[in-house]
Amino acid sequence: DDTPGLGSPVIPGLLALLCHREFARVTGLHREHLSSAVVVAGILAATVLTLLAVRPQTLTLTHAATLVALCLLNVLPDRPSGYIRRVALAAGSFMLFGVGLGRLAHFPDLPLPDYRPLVCVLIACVQLNDVFAYCCGRALAPRLGNAKWFSTTSPGKTVAGHLGAIALTTPLAAWLLSLALAGTPLAQPVHLAALALIIAVGGQLGDLVISSVKRDVGVKDMGALLPGHGGVLDRCNSLLLVIPVVYHYTRQVLESSPT
């Protein structure tokens, strides 16, 4: 696909940069210019290499080189105070956004007749998962109680909301995936169920990861780029874990299945 869109690495690269920018701003990483610059350079390098369709080994080497550069370059200023914090923040940002979210750029490489339906199902289902969690929490909590698994990290989410979202998202995702992956080895019930659970559970875990960051630094939203919705990261948080896990699961199944 030669046009910027679902098939272009430009879009995932831009999303990764925007998410890193918001993460760096709220965590204070933006004040560590060297560390933040290395993360940006790593994301840009991965995007360019994906555009050039280099071998996967080269891209993996780029990811490793970025992490090594973060460790080594932070030694050069001779400022050991805060070394662990700035390297850990930068490495976490690169792994979540540059590597994890960046896997979205590699879905066109999957041996599928068309990867776009799969990507659309992932995006739609993780968003619906959030809606289901809210609706189930409001509807079921008065009957089942307001028990919470993560009362400090996500005080608005109840056990009823978590379980209700999984109960609704899993069958919906499995059905949509059966349409998107029809005629492929992934259309088998066991794989559809596994992918659907990855979406339902992984979406909530990704949201909890970013919620933990927000509670730690004391902010409500990661940004204000999208009026009424916070920042880009507030919209992408549920995809952070789903995208890489679904990509690698899908690739493993397709490559290990007899042709």
Q: Per residue in 186-217, pLDDT tens?
A: 999 999 999 999 999 999 999 999 989 888 88
Q: 127: how many CB neighbours lie within 10 A of its CB?
A: 14
List the pLDDT tens digit at each of the 259 positions of the chain: 444 444 577 889 999 999 999 999 999 999 999 999 999 999 999 999 888 877 778 888 999 999 999 999 999 988 999 999 999 999 999 999 999 999 998 999 899 999 999 999 999 999 999 888 888 887 776 666 677 788 888 877 888 888 889 999 999 999 999 999 999 999 999 999 999 999 999 999 999 999 898 888 888 777 666 555 578 888 889 999 999 999 999 999 998 877 5
Q: What is the pLDDT of residue 251?
A: 93
Q: What is the pLDDT of residue 142?
A: 67
- For residues 42 and 63, the answer to whether their CB atoms sit within 8 Å is yes
Indicate the SS3 state at residue 92: helix
Q: What is the pLDDT of residue 144?
A: 64
Residue written as token pair 């430009």? 10
How far the first Cα of the chain sits from its last, in Å, is 24
Q: 17: how many CB neighbours lie within 10 A of its CB?
A: 18
* DSSP string for residues in 232-254: HHHHHTTHHHHHHHHHHHHHHHH
| Phi, psi torsion values for 218, nearest 5 degrees | 75, 40
Q: What is the pLDDT of residue 63?
A: 93
| Phi, psi torsion values for 222, nearest 5 degrees | -80, -20
**Polymer length in residues for the chain:** 259
Six-digit token string for 146: 């307001």
Q: What is the pLDDT of residue 1?
A: 42
Q: What is the pLDDT of residue 227?
A: 55
The b-or-e profile of 204-227 (16+ CB within 10 A means b, else e) is bebbbbbbebbeeeebeebbebee
Q: What is the pLDDT of residue 60?
A: 87
What is the C-alpha to C-alpha distance for residues 38 and 75, in angstroms, rounded to an integer? 13
- Which residues does residue 230 pair with via DSSP β-bridges, in sequence order? 226
- For residues 242 and 199, the answer to whether their CB atoms sit within 8 Å is yes
